[in-house]
């Protein structure tokens, strides 16, 4: 039931059982049991992280035992792997900063040292013990499996581009098979309990096990879904909350999923401008308009005549991947140029040597110790369990047609049918965002984010009301704080984490006049490797 365990450290099962009568209260907003305060900090034993993860940084690991099903706290339990990068300045320490890198499906055990690699300020590291964890079902926290293999060909939960109704119908057969495969592999009956709400409840037991009355939180991408759920379920147990690159709710539902198309349209002009300014080098078009026209011409040709296995669908997804960060623009331009020239040898080399932007949500999933199967399985489970998806194939056919017209770059892919259409009904509705609670939520959002478009930040700002402030950053890409080099976005967020100064009103950060980060080769390589892995969630 617990899957892979850490070498040391656990919240004692006996202590958990003895609290069964008082550990849970009912949340009126969700009518489901949620954790209350427990005094178990003394039970935690910290030790070496699996595989020596982060040992050079002083990272420690433990496990916290939680109920599999919060409506049955006396039933089966699972262990949640937790990491800690402790503050080395007791005089400045304020508390703990829980973190989540996104996904869903992303392992968060290394997140504290990842943030150090990205340049998290010493002032923040002094203030907090930075806490990472593998959410339930992921990595070292009772990992789930659908039995996916690379050979199976199901390598991402973003469906292929759907150019007509027949292609949506064909994808429906694939999606139904994947859903059935996942349910058949769920021999320990854990898959259904992988929800954002349950992970938020796990977070509160982690808080309790750490002996903290409140937690601060930093979450990116899907991490904003998780943070929004926690801040709504447990508003008075939050200290300082930073939500970066916001989805806009507490579930990656069908509406949020379809925003990938919007994000591609809003972000692509940044690349088109880049390529047009470098036409003499990459030959993609002298104007942004010409670059855009060239994209559709190339996609159409690749659909008819793929080059080394690269068809229009794969090129669309590669383009979308590159939009996550400006640093990927040269790779995309190089790949595009080779395809445009029909240079089969160059295309083969780029594909075989993996000299391409990574597909979103795949990336590091192919690397141990968090295999491809676990990452995709966990992601699928959370997305499908969090909200009800349409059941009728005709709904997806209609939506794909609408999105092909509205968002031609990404087309009907984000509206195409997914396994959630064939998944069991959710055990509970999504957490309702609450505007009741302390004003302690800082939302940071790029204006041109391909994965979590700007509207997500606007939606959360409205839902949280007076509890939140929105920091809008005039730049493109996925991820703001530490992910890019906008001084305003960096400074406002750091100031809030260190001093608790929530801006009096919403902030608009202008585009940075800086030409980018200038680091040593070693530091730059470490940063890029960290960014690549985190952005692949």
Residues 6 or more apart whose CB falls under 8 angstroms from that of 376 comprise 105, 146, 148, 154, 155, 156, 157, 361, 362, 365
The structure tokens listed for 79 are 């262990």
The structure tokens listed for 21 are 């009568």
Strands (E), 156-236: 215-220
Backbone angles phi, psi at 235, to 5 degrees: -60, -35
Q: Which of 253, 478, 484, 536 is catalytic?
A: 478
Residues 6 or more apart whose CB falls under 8 angstroms from that of 105 comprise 138, 361, 365, 374, 375, 376, 377, 378, 379, 380, 382, 537
Give DSSP secondary structure letters for 38-104: ---GGG---BPPGGGTTGGGT-EEEEEEEESSTT-TTS-EEEEEEEEE--S-TTT--EEEEEE--TT
Q: Are 416 and 435 in contact (CB under 8 A)?
A: no
The structure tokens listed for 448 are 């041109």
DSSP 320: H
Give DSSP secondary structure letters for 260-306: HHHHHHHHHHHHHHHHHTTHHHH-S-SSHHHHHHHHHHHHHHHHHS-
Give DSSP secondary structure letters for 225-265: HHHHHHHHHSGGGEEEEEEES--SSSS--HHHHHHHHHHHH
- For residue 163, CA distances in Å to 171, 308, 320 come to 12, 22, 17
Closest C-alpha among 101, 432, 91, 100 to residue 251: 432
- For residue 189, CA distances in Å to 53, 105, 180, 387 come to 30, 18, 14, 19
- 221 catalytically annotated: yes
Q: Which of 145, 221, 321, 536 is catalytic?
A: 221
- 185 catalytically annotated: no
- Residue 14's SS3 state is helix
Q: Which of 129, 134, 253, 449 is catalytic?
A: 449
Question: Going by DSSP bridges, is the β-strand pair 77-85/238-244 parallel, antiparallel, or unpaired?
Answer: unpaired
Report the C-alpha gap between 426 and 86 in whole angstroms: 38
Catalytically active residues, by annotation? 221, 449, 478
């Amino acid at each position: 039931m617990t899957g892979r365990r850490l070498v040391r450290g656990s919240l004692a099962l006996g202590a958990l059982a003895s609290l069964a009568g008082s550990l849970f209260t009912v949340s009126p907003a969700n009518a489901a049991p949620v954790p209350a305060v427990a005094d178990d900090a003394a039970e935690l034993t910290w030790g070496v992280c699996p595989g020596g993860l982060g040992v050079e940084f002083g990272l420690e690991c433990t496990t916290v035992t939680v109920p599999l099903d919060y409506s049955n706290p006396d039933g089966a339990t699972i262990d949640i792997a937790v990491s800690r990068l402790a503050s080395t300045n007791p005089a400045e320490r304020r508390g703990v900063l829980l973190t989540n890198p996104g996904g869903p499906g992303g392992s968060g055990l290394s997140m504290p040292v990842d943030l150090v690699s990205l340049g998290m300020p010493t002032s923040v590291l002094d203030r907090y013990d930075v806490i990472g964890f593998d959410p339930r079902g992921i990595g070292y926290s009772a990992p789930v499996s659908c039995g996916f293999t690379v050979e199976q060909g199901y390598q991402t939960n973003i469906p292929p581009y759907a150019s007509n109704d027949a292609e949506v119908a064909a994808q429906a057969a694939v999606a139904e098979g994947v859903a059935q495969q996942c349910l058949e592999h769920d021999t320990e009956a854990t898959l259904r309990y992988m929800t954002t709400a349950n992970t938020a409840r796990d977070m509160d037991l982690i808080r309790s096990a750490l002996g903290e009355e409140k937690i601060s939180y930093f979450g990116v991408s899907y991490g904003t879904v998780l943070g929004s759920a926690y801040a709504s379920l447990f508003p008075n147990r939050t200290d300082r909350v930073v939500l970066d690159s916001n989805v806009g709710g507490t579930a990656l539902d069908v509406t949020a999923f379809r925003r990938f198309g919007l994000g591609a349209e809003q972000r692509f002009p940044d690349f088109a401008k880049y390529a047009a300014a470098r036409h003499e080098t990459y030959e993609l078009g002298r104007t942004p308009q010409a670059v855009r026209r060239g994209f559709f011409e190339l996609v159409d040709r690749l659909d008819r005549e793929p080059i080394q296995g690269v068809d229009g669908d794969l090129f669309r997804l590669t383009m979308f991947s590159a939009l996550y960060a400006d640093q990927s623009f040269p790779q995309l331009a190089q790949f595009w140029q080779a395809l445009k020239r029909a240079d089969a040898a160059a295309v083969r080399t780029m594909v075989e040597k993996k000299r391409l932007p990574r597909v979103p949500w795949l990336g590091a999933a192919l690397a141990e110790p968090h295999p491809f199967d676990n990452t995709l399985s966990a992601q699928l489970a959370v997305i499908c369990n969090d909200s009800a998806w349409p059941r009728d194939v005709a709904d997806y056919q209609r939506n794909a047609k609408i999105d092909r017209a509205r968002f031609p770059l990404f087309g009907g892919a984000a509206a195409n049918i997914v396994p959630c259409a064939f998944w069991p009904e959710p055990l509970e509705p999504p957490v309702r965002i609450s505007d009741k609670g302390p004003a302690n939520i800082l939302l940071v959002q790029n204006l041109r984010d391909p994965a979590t478009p700007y509207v997500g930040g606007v939606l959360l700002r409205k839902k949280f009301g007076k509890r939140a402030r929105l920091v809008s950053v005039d730049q493109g890409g996925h991820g703001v704080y530490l992910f890019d080099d906008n001084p305003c976005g960096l400074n406002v967020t750091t100031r809030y984490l260190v001093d608790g100064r929530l801006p009096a009103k919403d902030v608009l950060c202008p585009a940075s006049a800086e030409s980018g980060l200038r680091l040593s080769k070693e530091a730059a390589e470490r940063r890029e490797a960290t960014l690549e892995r985190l952005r692949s969630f």
